[in-house]
Copies of this chain bind each other. A is one copy, B any other.
Amino acid sequence: MTTEEQIVNAARKVFVRKGLQGAKMQEIADEAGINKALLHYYFRSKDKLFDHIFTEAFQQIIPSLRQSLNEKADIVIFIQFFVPFYLNFIQKNPYLPQFIMHELSQNPERIAGLAHAQNFPFDSLKVLIDKAIKEQQIRFVEPENLIINMLALTIFPFVARPMIEQIIFKGKQEAYENFMQKRADDIIQTILTSLRPI
């Protein structure tokens, strides 16, 4: 592994966990097993290093769905595929949503510079949803609502984990983990039952 890769890995770990302000160059250097000066040799400044990490993270969190959308041209099947897929991804990167949303909240203009923001195939999904409505497979919904609801149900439990664990599950970590293990099925059931034609 090259030094640059070591730096990026260390920076990713520290930035995602602590944010731009909370992360310290010394901690990143320690994590990478090098000294601070080398960080500046590879990436001129903390801001530039952060930009690198944030851009990478942002592109990751927007799933590339083109393939699955071509193959499975049915919104119900798509939901059944997407929810466990995305849930599984976030399970492996549980701090990523909080990181992205916190930094975007601090500096919303940052998103404008990310060309890949347009990468999410919302328009393709819209077509699928409208088709399912027309065929009376599902009740009428605004496509925007359906997509946002799906994301909310998937992402929120990670971002709000401490509150959920403490207030809903009375501090029992095990209860939270048990809840999350069944989460994909619960989300799918919630969405699909809510979509049943009236």
On whether the beta carbons of A122 and B167 are closer than 8 Å, the reply is: yes
Give the B-binding residues of A (Cβ under 8 A).
Answer: 18-19, 21-22, 62, 95, 98, 100-102, 104-106, 108, 111-112, 117-118, 120, 122, 139, 142, 144-145, 147-149, 151-153, 155-157, 159-164, 166-169, 171, 179, 186, 190-191, 193-196, 198
On whether the beta carbons of B193 and A168 are closer than 8 Å, the reply is: no
User: DSSP majority for the A interface?
Assistant: helix
Known: A139-B193, A156-B151. Contact between A166 and B117, CB under 8 A? Answer: yes
- What residues on B are CB-neighbors of A186 within 8 Å? 142, 145
On whether the beta carbons of B147 and A168 are closer than 8 Å, the reply is: yes
- What residues on B are CB-neighbors of A147 within 8 Å? 168
Query: How close is A153's CB to chain B, nearest CB, in angstroms?
Result: 5
Query: How close is A7's CB to chain B, nearest CB, in angstroms?
Result: 22
Known: A98-B102, A155-B156, A160-B101. Contact between A166 and B196, CB under 8 A? Answer: no
- What residues on B are CB-neighbors of A152 within 8 Å? 152-153, 155-157, 160
Q: Which residue of B lies closest to A98 (CB)?
A: B105
Q: Among B95, B106, B144, B145, which residue has its beta carbon within 8 angstroms of that of A22?
A: B106
- What residues on B are CB-neighbors of A120 within 8 Å? 167
- What residues on B are CB-neighbors of A156 within 8 Å? 148, 151-152, 155-156
- What residues on B are CB-neighbors of A195 within 8 Å? 193
- What residues on B are CB-neighbors of A105 within 8 Å? 95, 98, 159, 161-162
